[in-house]
């Protein structure tokens, strides 16, 4: 059975992915900042005994990522799913930029994800599926940024969305760099989903997002490398 590694798997979409892939019999390597408090993930691991590994990992800590890579050195990882991310504090209105928070958002969403890719590329290269999926956001599209504040949101996201735009570009670089190794790199937007980040008014439940995202992930291959794909399979303009 294939193996998937998921960061930030204690709640939200990360837990949703872990639940789905474990349910389909995959070996699921999960990490989160505080495994002792990850009760839902622990319960999932208990249900799928021997199939789910839980490690502590803060993606802001690059030395810890390297140590995690060494701890998993014998694993062939079919899918590296970089899910851990933050949206940052609100409001994010221009004129009130919190640069310290922005720094943390970029370090988490871009540097953390990139460091995970650099560390685990060898693990992915020795797998069968050879896939890296970096979770992005539909709001990262520069072309679609044609209005100010998004309807229904508490404020503008001018700190979060550009961090995902940057992640998109880095992922394109990774895609071409890793293509000769047979590795596919995709950025995937999961939709606006009811999680702590998405809030209760979001359009989709975690299950609805999983219904769309999991089959997409299972179908991605080299033909898709370098693409920006949304939960419904569409490719938004960059």
Ligand X SMILES: NC(=O)c1ccc[n+]([C@@H]2O[C@H](COP(=O)([O-])OP(=O)(O)OC[C@H]3O[C@@H](n4cnc5c(N)ncnc54)[C@H](OP(=O)(O)O)[C@@H]3O)[C@@H](O)[C@H]2O)c1
> For binding to ligand X (CB under 6 A), which residues are involved?
7-8, 10-14, 32-34, 57-60, 83-86, 108, 112, 135, 137, 189-190, 192-193, 195-198, 202
Nearer to ligand X, 67 or 76 (CB): 67
- How many angstroms separate the CA atoms of 85 and 197, rounded? 9
Instruction: Note whether 209 and 225 are within 8 A (CB).
Output: no
Q: How far is CA 191 from CA 14, 53, 188, 230, 235, in A?
A: 14, 27, 9, 7, 13
Q: How far is the CB of 153 from ligand X (least distance, A)?
A: 11
Q: Is omega for the bond preceding 137 within 30 degrees of 0, making it cis? A: no
Q: How far is the CB of 28 from ligand X (least distance, A)?
A: 14
- How many angstroms separate the CA atoms of 228 and 146, rounded? 19
Nearer to ligand X, 192 or 220 (CB): 192
**E strand map for 12-91:** 27-32, 52-56, 79-82
What is the DSSP code (8-state) at residue 203? S
- Residue 204 has which token pair? 């989709």
Region of 134 on the Ramachandran plot (φ > 0 left; ψ -120 to 50 alpha; else beta): beta
């Amino acid at each position: 059975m294939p193996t998937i590694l998921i960061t930030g798997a204690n709640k939200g979409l990360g837990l949703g992915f872990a639940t789905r892939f474990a349910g389909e019999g995959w070996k699921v390597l999960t990490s989160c900042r505080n495994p002792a408090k990850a009760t839902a993930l622990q319960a999932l691991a208990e249900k799928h005994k021997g199939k789910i590994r839980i490690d502590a990992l803060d993606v802001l800590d690059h030395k810890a990522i390297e140590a995690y890579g060494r701890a998993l050195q014998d694993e062939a990882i079919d899918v590296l799913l970089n899910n851990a991310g933050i949206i940052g504090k609100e409001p994010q209105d221009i004129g009130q930029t919190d640069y310290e928070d922005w720094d943390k958002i970029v370090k988490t969403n871009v540097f953390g994800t990139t460091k995970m890719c650099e560390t685990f590329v060898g693990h992915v290269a020795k797998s069968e599926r050879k896939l890296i999926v970096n979770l992005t956001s539909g709001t990262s599209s520069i072309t679609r940024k044609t209005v100010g504040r998004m309807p229904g949101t508490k404020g503008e996201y001018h700190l979060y969305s550009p961090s995902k735009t940057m992640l998109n570009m880095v992922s394109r670089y990774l895609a071409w760099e890793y293509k000769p190794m047979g590795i596919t790199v995709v950025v995937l937007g999961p939709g606006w989903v009811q999680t702590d980040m998405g809030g209760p008014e979001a359009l989709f439940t975690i299950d609805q997002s999983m219904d769309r995202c999991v089959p997409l992930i299972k179908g991605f291959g080299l033909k898709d490398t370098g693409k920006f794909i949304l939960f419904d399979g569409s490719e938004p303009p960059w």
